[in-house]
Structure 1
Amino acid sequence: MRDHLELLLGVVLVTGPALGISPCSFDHGVALYRFCNLTQVPHIPPTMKILLLSFNSIRTITPTSFPFLEQLQLLELGTQFTPLTIEKEAFRNLPNLSILDLGRSQISFLHPDAFQGLPHLVELRLFYCGLSDTVLKGGYFRNLDSLAHLDLSKNQIGSLHLHPSFRELNALKSIDFSLNQVASVCERELKPLQGKVLSFFSLASNNLYSRISVDWSKCMNPFKNMVLDTLDVSDNGWAVDTMRNFSNAINGSEIFSLVLSHHIMGSGFGFHNLKDPDQSTFAGLARSSLIKLDLSHGFIFSLNVRLFETLTELKVLNLAHNKINKIVEGAFYGLDRLQVLNLSHNLLGELYNSNFNGLPRVAYVDLRKNHIGIIQDQTFKSLGSLKTLDLRDNALETIHIIPSIPTIYLGGNKLVKLSHISLVADIIHLAENRLENLADLYFLLQVPHLQILILNQNRLSSCSPSPAPAESLSLEQLFLGENMLQLAWETGFCWDVFKGLPHLQFLYLNNNHLSFLPPGVFSGLAALRELYLNFNRLTSLSPGDLPAQLEFLDVSWNQLLAPDPAVFASLRAVDLRHNQFICACELSAFISWLNHTNATLRGAPADRYCMFPEAFAGVPLDSISTDGCDEEKAFQALKWSLFISVTVMLTLVLVTSLGAAKFRGVCFMCYKRAQRLLFGVSPQRLELDRYKYDAYLCFSSKDFEWVQSALLVRLDTQYSDQNRFSLCFEERDFVPGENHVVNIQDAVWSSRKIVCLVSRHFLRDGWCLEAFSYAQSRCLADLRSALIVVVVGSLSQYQLMKHRPLQGFIQKQQYLRWPEDMQDVEWFLNKLSREILKKEKKQKRGSSIPLQTVATIS
């Protein structure tokens, strides 16, 4: 019967389209007449099982309103837009009705015999109907032998004086009096219910016992001789004194679950006008066999010593959404059978070793949404039966001692690095932390018996040189979404992170900014069935990238351009939505696969569309024709051949150019040698005519050794007969004892060219700068450009300009620079020799001297 009722309840909530029925019609045993502007019950065939008439304007229900509907089981008449009148035996033509829903209809008149003739009625919904105490006192529910669920919530009932006929409702299981105006309830009022076993009894949100003074000696136990699975007295404004009086009054009544949420017990945070519960608050419940106690959504600040000592049968304790900041040592003494403890959404900041003493059988501790930042080492040691610890959404920055239990939730904290602790678990939840290094992942993969590891929404982005991958023979699900694995894998490390996971079945790598997959990164995943790569930046996939046995692949919201259909050939399902497909002939094979594959394609066809070219942007792939791509393929082959040919030619030219640039010194020497062999070219010497020397080398004496090895040995005739120039320099050709200025003047005027080797020593040598000035005077006097400047070393233009003798020359003339690469020396000496050999034309006075175009070598 219960399963049958649940099915009917489900049908009530479905809409017309879900039932396959048009509005204001009937079919398949269901008549759907919601929002049809009805003022009376329409004609209904006798085969109907469900009749839905809510959201109309039906005013009156009489015995003749319904035809004889023997099969009707559910009638919905709730939410009429006009007041509803229900006359005597209004439903007598519905003998097998199981559920009658009148909720949210304002009943202006209800006859005491309105429900007579319904022997099989199981559930009666009269919530929010404007009913008063009369409906309880007047015997309205007589003869409802099958009635199990009565909903009278949200009415105007002020007193629970039950008619004696309630004693005859032997099937009654649940009554809901919540959201009424019941100020108090005593033993005599509920006497007709004595001896019954109810699964649910609600007096929530009535301001019960909170606005009047109750003489409990006269009121006594309202639930005497009753057995209640769940008693809901929440949201009645109970403080500690009210709760103590109530628990003492119901002493001895069997209540397995007491719901007292939304209370005002406790001092709250920063207040002391209300008391926190103490040892006496719940003492009266000692004989109630209480198994579940809900004290959530209150203001309890401190859990005092032996607070629940008398509740020896308690298995579930809900203290969520209070202001608990302090757990006194011994607070849980007496709860030897407690299995579930919920302390979530409180103000706990620290956990101490003594906090959970007295809980030998607790299996689940919920500490979510506190402010826990530190935990003492032995805090959970006394919880020998602990199976699940939930510490999500706290402020933990590090963990040192975590018990070896099957399930650990640590998500939403501030963990930056995991200490290498001894840990055994089946499920570890570490999402929404601040873990950055993949070394923590390697560490977690070594946890014995681990089956599910959740690391979503961390900052995994770095990787030190990969440690040896640890084998996890039990891991089945790995969640790594919303990290930054791209940054870690770009370093070339940690590509083997999945190598030791032979039993992994589900892998989530979504939202990791991945633009590539490391070669063979999934090669060790022999059991992988589902792979999630959605919301990344992948542009291509190769058949070897994925495990052979993979069944489902999600690559939606990537940047795939022209996928190879061979990648998806073995898949049973694939999600390819919202990629950047290029609709050209290269995509024809993929489009053909889409049109003929047996694999399940997730999402609508419109979500697989062209991105390029612009003319096809947004066009679904299933609308693209591949006709004519054969000719295009032939043309593409021709273009490919031309491309290869041109590429080879360009490569040869590029290699030749690079080789010549790389070995230019050797090439130049070979060129000169070939020139001498072919043309018999011998070193050319100048006719001295009126000049004694071909060139005067002006340099600092500190540079002599370098000048000798770099220039004199290769150019001066006195060093070798193969050289061509008669050179003058101070160390050899200046007359000893002669005035130094006279020697400089003779050298300048006796040489065809003056070559100044400007180095750092040159710039600090006053005689060198003097010689440079005489050389410039010679140029002005002869109107010839006889001065050649060679800059040696790493002197910048700025450093040269700081010296006034050189400033004018540097601004108007070009100069040579000694090459830094030794293979360019031969070429440079050849260039310098040509400058010395060059004959300059004499310029007319008044005309400007043209700049020599001399290449600089750097």
Structure 2
Amino acid sequence: MIMPFVEWMIFLCLILILVNAGKGHECTTIIKNMEYSCSGRNLTHIPSSLPFTVTSLDFSFNFLSSLHKCVFPVLLNLEVLDLTRCHIKHIENDTFYNVKNLTTLILTGNPITYFGPGCLNSLHNLQRLVLVDAGLSSLQLQMNNLTKLQEGAFGTNNIQYLDVSYSSIIFVNIYCFYGLSNLKILKMAGNNFQGDVARYLFNNLTFLEHLDMSYGRVVELHPSSFKNLQRLRLLNLRGNHLMTIDFLALPNLKQLTSLYVDKNSITSIPLHVLQNLPTNLSDFDLSSNPIDCSCSQTDFIWWIIHNQNVLKQPENIFCKTFSPSSDFRATDFDIDSCVHKKRLTMVLSVCFVTVVVLLSLLVYRFQFYLQYCCILLRGYRSPGQQECSYDAFVIFSSYDEVWVMNELMENLENSVPPIQLCLHMRDFQAGKSIASNIIDEGIMGSRKIIVVVSQHFIDSAWCRFEFELAQSRFMMERNANIIIIILEDVEERKSKKVFGLHKHLKKNTYLKWSRDPLSNMRFWIRLRKAIIATNH
């Protein structure tokens, strides 16, 4: 029964073409062989006598109650077709097969009741479809071969239902839905969005209630993408590549009841986003996402566990682990274990910070001692193993400088053989820190250390510091390399102010300066002998 019907339709098409083949096309030539006007001629068909080179045809105000494949002769160069007010009610599938290169199709003022879902399949180059005052409230263009939509592509505000799903469209123009101010349902699944176009694409669709953007390869959505969709009730983002739903942080989708973000790449949702979810949300599908069930996401996991009445398929919300075979439900995650871990982490963190602070204070307080220790760790060499620049480093207070210069330096450096002393005011390198000079030039660069003890020495912080460093060397060498000269008597209790001095005086022989000439002579003999003795 089907074949005779098809043959009958082909026969009718041939008859119509043959009947009109001998007639003039009854159309006005605007541009020869390119642009023609057949407007208002009461025609019921497209003249077959039109030249195949025609690119623009105005066929408005004629009578074409139904459009089907046989209505149009083969006009492969036709780009613009105006069918305004042609009383068109039905548009069948494959109607425009013979005019497949159309870029603009105008159907204004037609009482269209049926728009075949595949009627535009052959129009690969269609950029503009005008349906002003077409009486069409629903337009189904799903699974067409449309690749792009230009600004004002539909040219009507009557449409309330628009389906362009899986039409190979790459949304580039942010104004392609301009004029569809009454649109309530928009289905655009399976199409691609270029760049940040989704941020502005829906700005004028203030009446939109249902938006389907599933399987659109969407990676990220800007928070302002849906700022004007305050009536939106259903948002379908299933099967995209979203890693977050931060676009819900702005509380503008107050009417949203259904949100589908399943089969994306969402690992977690921040607390501030969860707190701003629409209060009317009753159907939230988060399944088939690689949820991060770690202690860093306890707020998110807690929300999942305590909002299963809102979640669709909560049993299919799995925690992503390193082994696919060991995935487990997010609702089974043990949050209490994280609480204990957090407490332990906090205690350890406090302890760690305390230790770091204490160590920092100790390092700051004893930085020069540490510097000296580093020198020792790099490899300490005793005076017999290293080349020293000086025979003795003199530790003294600046208040005793006159005695050091007039007595000590005069009797040691000008004697035979001369003894080379290291004196800070003369031998320390300019531009180098005092501590580094004490260690490098004084303690490490001298065979002996002479300590001139006086009341001024006891009161000097630098003298105490130098003596403490000298003791470190004494401990390394296990030898009496420190020669103490008591320049003036110091009370025992005051000598204890200098760490190790009192103990050193109790255990080691020291020299005492005297103004008596005889004692003075013995003093220099013993001092020279002590210095020279250690050089062998």
TM-score of the superposition, structure 1-length normalised? 0.31
With structure 2 as the length reference, what TM-score do the two structures score? 0.47
Instruction: Give the structure with the larger helix fraction.
Output: 2
* Higher RCO (Cα < 8 Å, 6 or more apart): 2
